[in-house]
Structure 1
Amino acid sequence: MTFTELLSGLPGLLAARAYLPSLGTTVYRAAHQTETGGLFTLDIAGDAGILSLYDTLDPWEEQALADACGRAGRLAAVYLKRRPVEARHAANVDREYLSPPDPVWGEARPEVTALEEGVPFLIRPGADLSVGLFTDARPARAWVREHATHGEGRVLNTFAYTCGFGLNAALGGAQVVKNVDLSRKVLAWGQANYALSGLHAPDTDFLYGDVFGWLGRLARRGAQFDLVILDPPSFARGPRGTWRSERDYGGLMALASAVTAPGGQVLALLNHAGVTPGAFERMVLAGLDDANGGAGRRARLSDHLSSGEDYPGATHLKAHVWTLE
């Protein structure tokens, strides 16, 4: 497919998801890589578009694509994200080039309140490469909302980011929800999301610090949760060194099992196209075998969750529900 053909086909492509706002979802993926030859994706949040490029284009091509997205989507603004293969490293040294703070088309929309199945979220299209919500996890957040009262309704949301999972747990009726993240900024963003839904958001429910440290601390306190959510990055550098999900997920699962009540569940997510579902299951089971100082923890795989209809053909996200004995 040529660049000109991509531009001319945009109106029809975006029309395929036009029904989602009528279902209460105004933040979603309007064009996925599987539909654009791997060149770009377009996310829509309210009246703002977030155009992500996965290959290098000439400046005039970038502008032409942004213009076409804005007009085809009837948007007020289009923001650009350049996503090289090693964006996880480059983002720290070339942030403004990768994620320009101002729109490349239309009028500025620094903050947008958009809906996901009726739940409002604060989106910041020009803030960074991550704008406030990962839309591929929409089915997983809906699952959390539906299962939040499992057991005694105690939920631990790790790597919470802007607390989308925690918010859905609270909306679903969970009695206790704790959100853990290494960034105070995103936890404050999460509290703002709670406020949009009129929920009480005390600071004690937003735990700042290293997730691994908190898991150990909670285990020593004897804390138990009926649902533990694990949604780590695929790669990160932190206080404990370099995290690689394909190498370290088992250890994370072992720590999580120590705070999961008998009969409790772990929602384990992995965003890594290079890890197959089978390999992911083996990593989780290896971690459970090592849990409790090598005594192990028995578990069964209860559910698989998909990325949603706006991610056709996507294989990057694995979302598995494990029930622990």
Structure 2
Amino acid sequence: MTLDGALRALPGLFAARAYLPSMGTTVYRAAHQTETGGLFTLDVAGDAGILSLYAPLAPHGETALAGACARAGGLAAVYLKRRPVEARHAANVEREYLSPPDPVWGEARPEVTALENGVPFLIRPGADLSVGLFTDARPARAWVREHASHGEGRVLNTFAYTCGFGLNAALGGAPVVKNVDLSRKVLAWGQANYALSGLPAPDTDFLFGDVFGWFTRLSRRGAQFDLVILDPPSFARSNAGTWRSERDYGRLMTLAAGVTAPGGRVLALLNHAGVTPGTFERLAWAGLQEAGRAGRITAHLGAGEDYPGATHLKAHVWSLD
């Protein structure tokens, strides 16, 4: 598809998703790569758009595309994300170029409150390449909220980011929810999300630090959870070394199994287009075997319907004996 073709398709794409706001979701993907020939994606949060480019455009082309997106969706502002093929290093050294803090079109919307299935979230369109919520995981968050009200009483949400999974567990009625992340900044963002829903957010439920270290600590304490949520990045560097999901996910599953109560579940997510569902299942199964646990997949969850043809996100629910 050409850029002109993608632009002509935009009004129809918005029309096809018009039901989402009426169902209580105002943060969603308005145009996915499969619908734009891989050239760009457009996410919407309230009246702000987040335009991600996967092919370079001249500055006037970026502005023109942003304006077309705004007109098609009635948006007040459009923010730009330039996403190079190898963004891991560039995201650190060229952050302001890749994610300009000001909109490329329209009036500034530094912070927007948007809804997902009726749950409010703070979205910061110009803050970074990640704006506060990964909308492809909406079905998985809905699953967590539903099952928290049916016996998933103690929940451990790892790689919590802004705590969307933990918030849904708490809203579903889980009496114990612990959110773990390496960034104090995003945990504070998560506490702000809790406040939007009128939920208490004591610091003791927001655990700062390395997830692997926390698994070890919790295991030594004899902590047990009915639901453990794994939503790691596909790649990360830290003082402990380099994490690659396609290589290391089994080790993560072993640690999760060590704090999952008998009869409990692990919601394992992987955002990596290069790993097939079968390979992902084998990685997780090997991790369970290493932990001496038996289990089976009881649900497969993928990206939402606003991600047609998407294969990058895998979400498997494992029930452990």
1:69-117: CA deviations, max 9, x gaps? 0111100000000011111221000000000000000000000000000
Amino acid aligned to 1:114:
A
- Alpha-carbon distance, 1:308 to partner: 1.0
SS of residue in 1 equivalent to 2:92: coil
Residue in 1 that maps onto 2:182: 182
Residue in 1 that maps onto 2:314: 318
Q: Does 1:308 align with 2:285?
A: no
Cα distance between partner residues in 1 of 2:46 and 2:147: 28
Q: Does 1:274 align with 2:269?
A: no
Amino acid aligned to 1:305:
L
SS of residue in 1 equivalent to 2:7: helix
Q: Does 1:111 align with 2:111?
A: yes
Cα distance between partner residues in 1 of 2:152 and 2:209: 26
Cα distance between partner residues in 2 of 1:272 and 1:5: 28
Residue in 2 that maps onto 1:4: 4
Cα distance between partner residues in 2 of 1:230 and 1:211: 10
The ranges of structure 1 where at least 4 consecutive aligned residues each deviate by more than 6 angstroms after the TM superposition are: none
Q: Which moved more, 1:56-65 or 1:91-100?
A: 56-65
Residue in 2 that maps onto 1:196: 196
Aligned residues of 1:210 and 1:239 also touching (Cα < 8 A)? no
Aligned residues of 2:152 and 2:227 also touching (Cα < 8 A)? no
Aligned residues of 1:150 and 1:227 also touching (Cα < 8 A)? no
Amino acid aligned to 1:302:
T
Cα distance between partner residues in 1 of 2:159 and 2:279: 22
Amino acid aligned to 1:298:
A
Matching of residues 1-325 of structure 1 within 5 Å: 1-151=1-151, 153-291=153-291, 296-325=292-321
Cα distance between partner residues in 1 of 2:2 and 2:49: 22
Aligned residues of 1:151 and 1:264 also touching (Cα < 8 A)? no
Cα distance between partner residues in 2 of 1:152 and 1:281: 23
Unaligned runs of 5+ in 2: none
Aligned residues of 1:160 and 1:180 also touching (Cα < 8 A)? yes
- Alpha-carbon distance, 1:3 to partner: 2.0
Q: 1:21 to 1:152 in 2, by over 3 A?
A: closer
- Alpha-carbon distance, 1:19 to partner: 1.4
Cα distance between partner residues in 2 of 1:258 and 1:192: 31
Cα distance between partner residues in 1 of 2:305 and 2:170: 25
SS of residue in 2 equivalent to 1:268: strand
Amino acid aligned to 1:301:
I
1:16-46: CA deviations, max 9, x gaps? 1111100000000000000000000000000
Aligned residues of 2:6 and 2:35 also touching (Cα < 8 A)? no
Percent identity between the aligned chains? 84
- Alpha-carbon distance, 1:149 to partner: 3.9
TM-score w.r.t. structure 2 length? 0.99
What is the total number of aligned residue pairs between the two structures?
Answer: 321
Q: Which moved more, 1:3-12 or 1:304-313?
A: 3-12
1:274-316: CA deviations, max 9, x gaps? 000000000001111111xxxx110011100121110000000
- Alpha-carbon distance, 1:62 to partner: 1.1
1:227-280: CA deviations, max 9, x gaps? 000000000011311100000000000000000000000000000000000000
- Alpha-carbon distance, 1:150 to partner: 4.6
Amino acid aligned to 2:91:
A
Aligned residues of 2:3 and 2:39 also touching (Cα < 8 A)? no
Amino acid aligned to 2:287:
G
1:115-174: CA deviations, max 9, x gaps? 000000000000000000000000000000001145460000000000000000000000
SS of residue in 1 equivalent to 2:308: coil
SS of residue in 2 equivalent to 1:252: helix
